[in-house]
């Protein structure tokens, strides 16, 4: 990888780490469009998965008391089932098709959330479907956040519950995702080196965001979540068409 490529990767990781602390998600959602400006999707997936596991494991431990455990269980188990399919999709579907599909799906989900759709009383089958889709996206684009964000927002969780629950699902999913990537031989030297070089950017992004996080609650939190989804959806489509 060139110096220019590494700078883009580090910038993507900094932005993603900062925003994930504030919102509870967005690491892959924000870093993937930026990172793929400089490196192929398959290489970006490795970097995001490795550093994403570091982020989510750290946050899941610190936020564990607020997690809604039944939701974590349903979403995680369903995600595990979807991950092998996502690995297959990564190998056979083009980068452009994957990005376009993701971008369109994110914008549709955002529209439903803006309309304040309420699925609080829907049965556990809804969570299982959401988890399965997130698992497929995890190993195909390393971007499993959108379905989880939609599912938890549609159930109208409070900000602290949302952050803790989604982060714990991310942490568990990343462990399985990394195992599958290792078995499938996805970890290249360039991907490992890029993740190591981007580590300081990850640390700085996390450190700067933690003091700000307590001020992002209620309507401010909802606005942040919806804004991140719109930015991610539009940018993913734009980058896919470039």
Is the pLDDT reported for residue 41 higher than 80?
no
Task: Return all residues near 22 (Cβ < 8 A) that are at least 6 apart.
Answer: 209, 212, 213, 216, 224
DSSP-derived letter for residue 64 is G
Is the pLDDT reported for residue 79 higher than 80?
yes
Q: How confident is the model at residue 179 (pLDDT cuts 50, 70, 90)?
A: confident
For 118, phi and psi rounded to 5 degrees?
A: -120, 110
CB-CB contact of 107 with 48 (8 Å): no
CA angle (105, 51, 140) in 5-degree steps: 35
Is the pLDDT reported for residue 42 higher than 80?
no
CB-CB contact of 51 with 10 (8 Å): no
For the record, the structure tokens of 119 come out as: 């699925």
């Amino acid at each position: 990888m060139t110096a220019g490529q590494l700078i883009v990767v580090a910038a993507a990781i900094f932005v993603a780490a900062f925003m994930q602390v504030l919102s509870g998600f967005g690491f892959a959602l924000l870093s993937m469009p930026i990172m793929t400006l400089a490196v192929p999707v398959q290489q970006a997936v490795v970097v995001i998965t490795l550093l994403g596991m570091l982020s989510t494991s750290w946050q899941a431990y610190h936020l564990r008391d607020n997690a809604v455990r039944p939701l974590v269980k349903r979403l995680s188990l369903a995600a595990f089932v979807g991950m092998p399919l996502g690995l297959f999709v990564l190998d056979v579907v083009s980068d452009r098709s994957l990005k376009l599909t993701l971008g369109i799906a994110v914008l549709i989900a955002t529209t439903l959330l803006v309309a304040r759709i309420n699925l609080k009383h829907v049965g556990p089958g809804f969570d299982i479907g959401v988890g399965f889709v997130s698992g497929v996206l995890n190993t195909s684009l390393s971007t499993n956040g959108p379905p989880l964000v939609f599912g938890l927002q549609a159930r109208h969780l409070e900000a602290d519950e949302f952050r803790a629950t989604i982060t714990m699902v991310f942490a568990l999913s990343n462990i399985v995702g990394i195992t599958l990537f290792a078995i499938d031989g996805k970890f290249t030297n360039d991907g490992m080196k890029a993740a190591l070089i981007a580590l300081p950017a990850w640390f700085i992004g996390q450190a700067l965001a933690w003091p700000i996080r307590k001020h992002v609650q209620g309507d401010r939190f909802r606005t942040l979540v919806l804004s991140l989804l719109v930015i991610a959806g539009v940018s993913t489509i734009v980058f896919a068409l470039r």
